[in-house]
Structure 1
Amino acid sequence: MPRSTPSAEPRSDRLTERETFETTLPAPSARVASITRRMLAPMSEPEPSTEFARVPAASVITACLSAQASVAPRSALAKLFGRSPLSADSRPWYLGALGERRVAKRLDALGDEWTVLHSVPIGERGSDIDHVALGPPGLFTVNTKFHEDATMWVGNRRLLVNGQPTDHLRNARFEAQRVTRLMTTVTGIPVTVTPILAIVGARDITFKEHPADVIVLREGELARWLKRRQAALAPTDRERLATAVARQETWMPKPAASTTHQVAAFESLQRDVEQAHRVRRLWSAGALITGIGIAAAVAGNAYSGLISALIGG
């Protein structure tokens, strides 16, 4: 879907109401039928682009840089005092991109038995799926949520962030259903996709109940949880699914634009943000040391005065 500036957290809803409705429609489109014909073609067809869905957070990086483009450069004084280069509009996108890149590193370390894609475009309205992982246990969609220092509460049907309800479980569920239908149609294999919600940055997560159909994990638990799953796919089915998953034509009709230059721009922005953070920490440490020195001097003067008064008395 066309991206707009988030109000509180980045991309809290990947699916529009229209797209959510479409996930319930059983009839495959003409495009899906065309994809099926291509998938049944000989394996000598050209290999998919090596860049397709290999860049973590590609769509969020694009949104972040778009929001950041209108921000005026910081002055020398602002840099001296460590003012962040991010604006109120770009910061949520920035955090979202950091979260997806962190989860991507976990998934990329799964090993050769796994096929992992990131920022997978799906359909023609600008929607994407944060991560898709295929391995011996099956096929998984991973929706990343970065909630910095947040308190989260998880129930069977609800997930609260700092006491506020979210659509995270619903959206993760619909993503998996959408991919289930697509992959079953394309490959002819009955596929069940498991949705995972990967949480980054939360201070505390309380599980009242574990959702029955969505796996909720901290970022650091993700790879270990996937590796411990028992094998569920026959090798031939996994090979066929891996071919389908890796093909750009499976997900969208037109090749995705290169994002290499945007990644470089984002990493430059990240260095500026981290440098500003270090400068602020130095100022804070200096202020603390100065405060301690002043307090010590005042205490020393008071003590000297007390001693002098006692001696004079």
Structure 2
Amino acid sequence: MSADPAQGPASEDSPSTLTPTGVPGRSDIALTLERQPADDARGSFGRVFGTNPIAPAARAAFDRATGARRVARVLDGLGPDWVVAHAVPLDGRSPDADHVVVGPPGVLVVTSEHHRVKNVFVAGHEVFVDREKTDLMARAESSADAAGRMLRAASTVDVPVTPVLVFVDPKRLVVREKPERTRVFADLFLRRRLRRLPVTLAGEDLRAVHAAAVAETTWGSPAPLLTAEQLRRFDTLDRTATKARRLKSFWMWAGAVVTLSAVLLTVQGVALGIIG
């Protein structure tokens, strides 16, 4: 992929002139829109009280897409020594890598998982979400292995590759036993933690891998591009879902206040009756 024309000609010494690639959560955005009815079926009552606007069939894809977008915003702010590619097509045997990050710590292949208010427990190679065993660790490592092979072939650099598993907005993340290969983080403070990883790549090798990461010829065949209209629809849906969550939280809080007030009034009435 070529440099961004708005930034002038590419410089081998400046990774910031390389254009990052990919729309975060691309395939899941398309899947969400495919499964989500065009019209809001909640009705006025549902809209006022914060009913979830996402159709049940679309919710898993929607959560994955919003998680990928949230992590992408963090990664894109890592700084000029880093290059980030999103929704990277791999070798056909592995699903797209959510994010491929190249910087001083080497190559980080980031798998983002959006598990809002769920409990996540990690014990070595095993990951449990609300006590249900998942294959997330194996998937993260498979993506990292595939991305590593392709980057090494394109850059001719024997670059170190680290799988990274990021959980977005978990209720609780407990790492009882650290995995042997994979780094596990919550999205909170993610940027700071990545910047603190040990330096393993620098100089000409770093520049070569930077260039390979954003070159379309490095990766597999991409999925069809999203249209501006698809992105607009998803952004609108995301805002609507955020508003619904806030409304639901407000009404739950208001209900709790009303209930507590009623209890206090009842207690006060009983106390006055006893005193009287």
Structure-2-length-normalised TM-score: 0.83
The structure-2 alpha-carbon separation of the partners of 1:306 and 1:109, relative to structure 1 and needing over 3 Å to count, comes to same
Establish whether residue 139 from structure 1 lines up as the match of residue 107 from structure 2: yes
- In structure 1, the residue matched to 2:187 is 219
Establish whether residue 56 from structure 1 lines up as the match of residue 24 from structure 2: yes
The structure-2 alpha-carbon separation of the partners of 1:295 and 1:234, relative to structure 1 and needing over 3 Å to count, comes to closer
The structure-2 alpha-carbon separation of the partners of 1:255 and 1:144, relative to structure 1 and needing over 3 Å to count, comes to closer
Q: Name which of 156, 181, 184 aligns with 2:149.
A: 181
Any conservation in 2 of the 1:52–1:256 contact (CA below 8 Å)? no
Establish whether residue 291 from structure 1 lines up as the match of residue 259 from structure 2: yes
Establish whether residue 75 from structure 1 lines up as the match of residue 43 from structure 2: yes
The structure-2 alpha-carbon separation of the partners of 1:261 and 1:208, relative to structure 1 and needing over 3 Å to count, comes to same
Any conservation in 2 of the 1:140–1:196 contact (CA below 8 Å)? yes
CA deviations 1:114-152 (Å, max 9, x no partner) are 001111122458931111100122111001112222222
Deviation at 1:70, TM superposition (A): 6.7
Identity within the alignment, %? 29
Distance in 1, Cα, partners of 2:242 & 2:26: 20
Establish whether residue 166 from structure 1 lines up as the match of residue 173 from structure 2: no
- In structure 1, the residue matched to 2:56 is 88
The structure-2 alpha-carbon separation of the partners of 1:292 and 1:157, relative to structure 1 and needing over 3 Å to count, comes to closer
Distance in 1, Cα, partners of 2:192 & 2:135: 26
- In structure 2, the residue matched to 1:11 is none
Q: Secondary structure at the match of 2:177?
A: coil
Distance in 1, Cα, partners of 2:123 & 2:140: 15
Q: Name which of 98, 105, 111 aligns with 2:79.
A: 111
Distance in 2, Cα, partners of 1:255 & 1:94: 18
Question: Does 221-230 or 244-253 show the bigger shift?
Answer: 221-230
* Matched positions, count: 262
CA deviations 1:233-267 (Å, max 9, x no partner) are 24212222111110122213468514443232122
Question: Does 230-239 or 128-137 show the bigger shift?
Answer: 230-239
The structure-2 alpha-carbon separation of the partners of 1:76 and 1:85, relative to structure 1 and needing over 3 Å to count, comes to same
Distance in 1, Cα, partners of 2:113 & 2:223: 27
Q: Which runs of 5+ in 1 are unaligned?
A: 1-42, 309-313
Could you tell me which amino acid in structure 2 is paired with residue 186 of structure 1? Answer: A
- In structure 2, the residue matched to 1:120 is 88
- In structure 1, the residue matched to 2:235 is 267
CA deviations 1:163-196 (Å, max 9, x no partner) are 2221111111111111121122222222331111
Structure-1-length-normalised TM-score: 0.74
Could you tell me which amino acid in structure 2 is paired with residue 76 of structure 1? Answer: S
Deviation at 1:290, TM superposition (A): 3.4
Distance in 2, Cα, partners of 1:119 & 1:69: 25
Q: Name which of 228, 231, 235 aligns with 2:203.
A: 235
Any conservation in 1 of the 2:119–2:130 contact (CA below 8 Å)? yes
Any conservation in 2 of the 1:137–1:231 contact (CA below 8 Å)? yes
The structure-2 alpha-carbon separation of the partners of 1:210 and 1:258, relative to structure 1 and needing over 3 Å to count, comes to same
Deviation at 1:293, TM superposition (A): 4.2
Distance in 2, Cα, partners of 1:144 & 1:224: 17
Distance in 2, Cα, partners of 1:117 & 1:74: 37
The structure-2 alpha-carbon separation of the partners of 1:302 and 1:173, relative to structure 1 and needing over 3 Å to count, comes to closer
Any conservation in 1 of the 2:110–2:166 contact (CA below 8 Å)? yes
The structure-2 alpha-carbon separation of the partners of 1:300 and 1:152, relative to structure 1 and needing over 3 Å to count, comes to closer
C-alpha RMSD of matched pairs (Å): 2.8
CA deviations 1:83-125 (Å, max 9, x no partner) are 1111222222222222212211221111001001111122458
- In structure 1, the residue matched to 2:7 is none
Distance in 2, Cα, partners of 1:100 & 1:52: 14
Q: Secondary structure at the match of 1:196?
A: strand
Question: Does 249-258 or 214-223 show the bigger shift?
Answer: 249-258
Deviation at 1:222, TM superposition (A): 2.8
The structure-2 alpha-carbon separation of the partners of 1:181 and 1:123, relative to structure 1 and needing over 3 Å to count, comes to closer
> Radius of gyration: which is bigger?
1
